[in-house]
Amino acid sequence: MTFQYKAPANFLTDKTILITGASDGIGKACAKSFAEHGASLVLLGRTQSKLESVYDEIEELHPGKVVIHPIDFKTASIEDYKILADSINDQYESLDGVIHNAALLGARTPIEFYPDQDWSDLMQVNVNAAFHLSKVLIPALSRSADARMIFTSSSVGRTGRAYWGAYGVSKFAIEGLMQTLAEELENTTSIRVNSLNPGGTRTLMRRDAYPAENPETQPTAESLMPVYLYLMSPEAKSIHGQALNVRGFESI
């Protein structure tokens, strides 16, 4: 049964949420859904033109609610992350949410034959970027009275599966980062940290992973939004350090 949650209108008003990988798929759906419920948004993505398109869509309906920040996690420096954090600290009193959504799929091949550079690039985007970004944003999140950090996970990051290579290993690393942060932040901040496995979803990454699959058999990114909205709500404040799944999700 699909999780149902009727989010209160504008319940994210006065909240500022940062989303990575915001120009497509689940990240874009989160951006549009959060904006509809009143949030101010900081949207990160690799391709400026695609970010600008998302910006235009949201700005038309919710003026003044979104800023975009193009960044390529594959090549971003420590200084780039510090500049982003400084900009957020200057513009906002606090940060109330981070959706770690950006990721590369990489090669689907045995470890024995996995391309070395592809492995390094994927770890840089899927793991190192999440670490660097979390590190510099924790001060802004700590100033919120009720903050959330959600890492997008995967079933292949919870049980190893052949031929998923760096992507699967990177998602195992994300689960470890989530657990470590959850324990460190539990008693010292209001930040609630969890991972969320969206399951098969009708996205470009899913199409690349399963090119022979009929995409119509998978749920849309928009259909996942009740879970994301619930996790950003006050009702979810007790959920912390959990490896969650969209499918079969139940409120606590």
Catalytic machinery residues? 167
Residues whose CB falls within 8 Å of the CB of residue 98, separated by 6 or more in sequence, listed in order: 17, 18, 19, 20, 133, 134, 137, 141, 148, 149, 150
Task: Select from 16, 39, 42 the least CA-distant residue to 95.
Answer: 16
**CA dihedral (142, 87, 27, 60) positive or negative:** positive
Strands (E), the chain: 16-19, 40-45, 66-70, 97-100, 148-152, 192-197, 243-245
Contacts of 20 (CB under 8 A, 6+ apart): 27, 44, 45, 73, 98, 99, 100, 101, 102, 129, 133
Structure tokens at 34: 């959060």
Nearest residue to 157 via CA among 178, 137, 131, 185: 178
